[in-house]
Amino acid sequence: MLNLSKNRTISSVTRKFGLKQAIPITALLAVIPILLVLGAETIQRGSFEETWDWALNQPSLFWLNALLYLCALTLVYCVIGSLVPSVAIAALLFGLMSLISFFKTKLIGEPFFPWDILLNKEGLNIAPLITGQAAMLRIGTVLGVVVLLFALRLVVPRLALPWLPRIALGSLSVIALYAFGINAAWAENMQYKAGASEILWNQQQNYGHNGLTLAFTMNVKHSIVAKPPGYGEQAMADIAHAITEKRTASASAAPTVATDAGADTVKPNVIFIMNEAFWDPTLLPDVFFHDDPIPTVRKLQAESVSGYLLSPQFGGGTSNVEFEVLTGQSMSFLPSGSVPYQQYVKKPVPSLASYFEHLGYKSLAVHSYEGWFWDRENAYRQLGFESFMSSENFAEPELKGPFIADAEVSRQIIKQVDESERPMFIYAVTMQNHGPYDDKRYGDAAMDIEGDLTDEALDILQTYAIGARDADQSLQQLIDHFEQSGEPTVIVMYGDHLPMLGYSYDVYNQGGLIRTDRSENWTLEELKHMRSVPFVMWANFELPADDVPAISASFLGSYVMDTLGLEKPAPFAVNWDVYSEIPGLLRNLVVDTEQNLYNSPPDYVQEELDRYRMLQYDLLFGKKYAADYIDADYLNKPVHPDYNREFQKPAA
């Protein structure tokens, strides 16, 4: 009787807590993470062969990724309460994650970062770029697997856990994922023993070596920018003192140009034009253009100020180039793949806009696309602009393809300058030549191009080159106007990044600019080619001619200030000191004054770089200690009180 009673009790407990399901649940939780790793890595890497090689050569990292998948799957399971739907949801999440990383890498050379989740509507703009049978097959395979998993619930038992084990397992999963995200000591030790290596300067290598999920998780901690060693009020006081000592008494308070009469001086308009994906396609060594697509730029390269701007981006991320030019700050000191406009520019940040406003200018941002993109509406406000003219403010604009024409942007710039009683600082961003370039947007228009290119590559290059020609003509349109008007004006035009010409740098590879479509295998010279966009500077008054072989986007503002004889405020003064030592500064490419190339900064410039990094941290994340010692009015300048009033729609 006693044994019978005991057996009944055990049976009751078994039914109550579902212990009979423990074996299949445990088996599935052990096997499914392995399948998820293999599936996600195959999508991310592009082939099962590469995934298998990685698993064999890095077994510890393979199992560490499987552990992360297990934690994530267990967390979903504990929330949902049914195993099969939980597996389907996990497969969907990790499938999307790997697809995004694959396509993002193919398009712009960067994998999927934690902060990409914040892109919201911007992320949808990748959709038109994903075309072709192979892409649809990948997407269809992922969706098919997910649908099949959901369908399995019709024939597979619920395999549920009671609440108490669910709470316990869910809590353990959250703790484990959090520990890996913040790099807790025990998680860091586990990564070290597994052979993990965080390669921040080359995120493709980082994801390739460590695996998609581990690399993604390791990047989470970089969402918060660490305080530089030695940062504090005294350090900022020392930097301010050094800037003050270097300033010369002859620096002008504002740019002035003598009038024809010679008796008065006026402030010139300063116009920056960042032309979407503007580049010189004739630089492809194995391609020949019968007609030069950019004759205006070519003439300025021979006669005026010109050179090559080193962009922190390739194929996308326009706002990051804006951020560098406008603030003088460097993306090299921020997490790889971050977007300052959306993540960090949440309070007033000193910029070229607030600087020229301080000199009595009217500052205007112009972008021929929607104002919400990259959160420009808010970012331009925080950067001190007086007004922002987005595509919504263009009345019946001329279109070229799906976007507002570059010529229309030039017309709006002319209109704004002609109607303003004050000199203008304009920062304009165009959109016409945005990719993809396989849409034949210009109809039968063509350029005579020769080269050993596939038909698809030739079509892409044709479309891009026509857009580059239009961009060049829009610059000439501005030059013609201001030559005739005589109103002192200086124009700086450049591209934000090289265009994305096909998957895996296809046109660049076929055209001979690079030897391989694997960017992690590029030489430093090839990397420089793939980050260099032309810039030119024109004025209807005399400027000293100059040839600049390499200059980072973050140094362009101080370069223009120096050319115009302006006194540089603190951020631009510090980065000008760095420019004097290393004119090119990217995350994984440094160019010195002799055009020697390095993959990291040489020791002799480290002190200047530390000052640069520290001041950037102070202004973007810190206490703004520098404003207590130098340029207080500029560094503390609030947002414009009437920001964008002229373009606000009247209330209904």
Tokens read off for 507 = 């046109």
Q: Please provide the DSSP assignment of 65-118 as one string.
A: HHHHHHHHHHHHHHHH--HHHHHHHHHHHHHHHHHHHHHHHHHHS----GGGGG
Tokens read off for 31 = 């096997």
Mean pLDDT across 608-634: 96
d(CA 303, CA 547): 10
Mean pLDDT across 409-437: 96
Give the 3-state secondary structure of residue 622: coil
pLDDT in tens, 336-377: 778 899 889 989 999 999 999 999 999 999 999 988 888 899
H or E segment at 451? strand 449-451
* Upper half-sphere CA count for residue 275 (Cβ side, 13 Å): 32
pLDDT in tens, 128-176: 556 667 778 888 888 888 888 888 777 777 777 788 888 888 899 999 8
The pTM (predicted TM-score) of the whole model is: 0.79
pLDDT in tens, 529-545: 999 999 999 999 998 88
Percent of the chain with pLDDT over 70: 90
pLDDT of residue 436: 87
Q: What CATH number does domain 233-647 carry, 3.40.30.10, 3.40.720.10, 3.30.1490.20, 3.40.190.10?
A: 3.40.720.10
Percent of the chain with pLDDT over 90: 60
Q: How confident is the model at residue 652 (pLDDT cuts 50, 70, 90)?
A: very low
Task: Locate the domains of the chain by residue range.
Answer: 9-223, 233-647
User: Of the given ranges (127-136, 414-423, 424-433), which has the lowest mean pLDDT?
Assistant: 127-136
H or E segment at 400? strand 399-400
Residue 202 reports pLDDT greater than 90: no
Q: Please provide the DSSP assignment of 493-559 as one string.
A: EEESS----SGGGHHHHHTTS-S-S-GGG--HHHHHHTTEEEEEEEESS----EEEEEEEHHHHHHH
pLDDT in tens, 278-321: 999 999 999 999 999 999 999 999 999 999 999 999 988 899 99
CA angle 465, 467, 473 (to 5 degrees): 105
Tokens read off for 319 = 């706002």
pLDDT of residue 599: 93
d(CA 321, CA 276): 11
Strands, E, within 104-254: which ranges?
Answer: none
d(CA 67, CA 61): 10
Q: How confident is the model at residue 649 (pLDDT cuts 50, 70, 90)?
A: low
92: nearest Cα among 40, 45, 136: 40
Mean pLDDT of the chain: 88
Q: Please provide the DSSP assignment of 14-60 as one string.
A: HHHHTGGGHHHHHHHHHHHHHHHHHHHHHHHHS-HHHHHHHHHH-HH
Q: Is 539 exposed, middle or buried (0-12, 13-18, 19+ CB in 10 A)?
A: buried
H or E segment at 465? helix 455-485
Mean pLDDT across 596-614: 95
Give yes or no for a contact between 391 and 369, defined as CB atoms under 8 angstroms apart. Answer: yes
Cβ neighbours of residue 165 closer than 8 Å, sequence gap 6 or more:
17
